[in-house]
Amino acid sequence: MESYETLLQSLKNSPRRWLITGVAGFIGSNLLEQLLRLNQQVIGLDNFSTGRHENLEAVKNLVGPQWKQFEMIEGDICDLHLCQQLTQKVDYVLHQAALGSVPRSIEQPLKSHESNVNGHLNILKACTDAPIKKLVYASSSSVYGDNEDLPKKEEQVGNPLSPYAATKKINEIYSQVFHRVYHTPAVGLRYFNVFGARQDPNGPYAAVIPKWITAMLRQETVEIYGDGKTSRDFCYIDNVVQANIRAAVLPGGTGEVFNVAVGATTSLNDLFLILKKLLKKRNPDLSIQEPVYKDFRPGDIRHSFADITRIQEAFSYTPSHSIEEGLEEALDWYLKN
């Protein structure tokens, strides 16, 4: 199978039309940036419930003249008619829109279901009725739930531990059913702890890496839920962008779901030490307090470590960044923001 660089050049030479849902979010805006750099035509859909105008402004400043290839639609995936209108205009759909976060879903299960399940079903129906080539949708490693087997293999899921995990499992079930019944060309990507530029460091549902970096820079205490031995397969955003593009453009994979990760595991204690080292390297005078350990958080899985064999075999996916390489690349953005 052709290299990623060859694939990107092929796209640049032959532009396609794309729809990105959740385009103003962390992952959506990074997908937008890469596609515009490749001179693709992109429609973006977002209701700005969690997406940010600042993310789009940042992409605009980065891509320059390519920005004219982008059309922004402010709207909701819960609007079936709108989804049907937009999918008629594109070759590929990258469906990222959702209400993320395990804690948020525990506090707001009905809102999570409305966006994540009903919205996903609308996208599936719209893609079924449209002449698209491929729908690639965001699932989550949270679907592994209480299954303790490591590494995580796609066929071995457990019972969901949160409403968010349940919504993502339902997404996969619906997508597979639509593929069997209607031949909808849907591919699911189970993201593992994605981090990178434009990830929101603020708010009660902030991801651990930007949240901890913010605390360290402010010389505030980092809070670790549990004993710090909880581990995650932290995945840099460039790996996720690569997986989406490969899964969309390359043949095969429809009706299936794939892990998107690095295939390595890092404990929260080790993550703290890595971040401390990188920040001290840039500012030796920075005083960083030792972390404070709190109770385990409801709904969190204990260990997350992906087997990425299936996506490697299907789409020749190869992670470009380890956690350390990704943090080195992203740290300047975190420091500025």
β-strands 194-195, 92-95: how paired? unpaired
pLDDT given at position 205: 54
pLDDT given at position 266: 95
| Cα–Cα distance for residue pair 159/146, rounded to 1 Å | 6
pLDDT given at position 28: 98
Q: Is the Cα torsion angle 44, 50, 53, 54 positive or negative in sign?
A: negative
- Domain contains 279: no
Beta bridge partners of 190: 139, 259
Amino acid at 150: L
Q: Is the Cα torsion angle 189, 34, 211, 120 positive or negative in sign?
A: negative
Contact 111, 71 (CB under 8 A): no
Is pTM beyond 0.85? Reply is yes
- Domain contains 283: no
144 in catalytic set = no
What is the residue range of 43's domain? 4-194+237-262+305-320
Full pLDDT tens readout for the chain, 337 residues? 779 999 999 999 999 999 999 999 999 999 999 999 999 999 999 999 999 999 999 999 999 999 999 999 999 999 999 999 999 999 999 999 999 888 899 999 999 999 999 999 999 999 999 999 999 999 999 999 999 999 999 999 999 999 999 999 999 999 999 999 999 999 999 999 999 999 887 666 568 898 899 999 999 999 999 999 999 999 999 999 999 999 999 999 999 999 999 999 999 999 999 999 999 999 999 999 999 999 998 877 788 899 999 999 999 999 999 999 999 999 989 888 8
- Domain contains 337: no
- Domain contains 109: yes
> Of 164, 174, 191, 317, which is the active-site residue?
164
> How many other CB atoms are there within 10 angstroms of residue 156's CB atom?
11
- Domain contains 229: no
Tokens of 21: 């849902």
Give how far Cα 216 sits from Cα of 111, 213, 228, 232, 266, Å: 33, 5, 17, 20, 19
Contact 239, 319 (CB under 8 A): yes
- Domain contains 31: yes
- Domain contains 328: no
Q: What is the CA radius of gyration of the chain?
A: 19
- Domain contains 290: no
CATH classification at residue 137: 3.40.50.720
How many domains, in total, are found in the chain? Answer: 1
Tokens of 302: 């204990």
C-alpha dihedral, 210 to 188 to 28 to 70, nearest 10°: 170
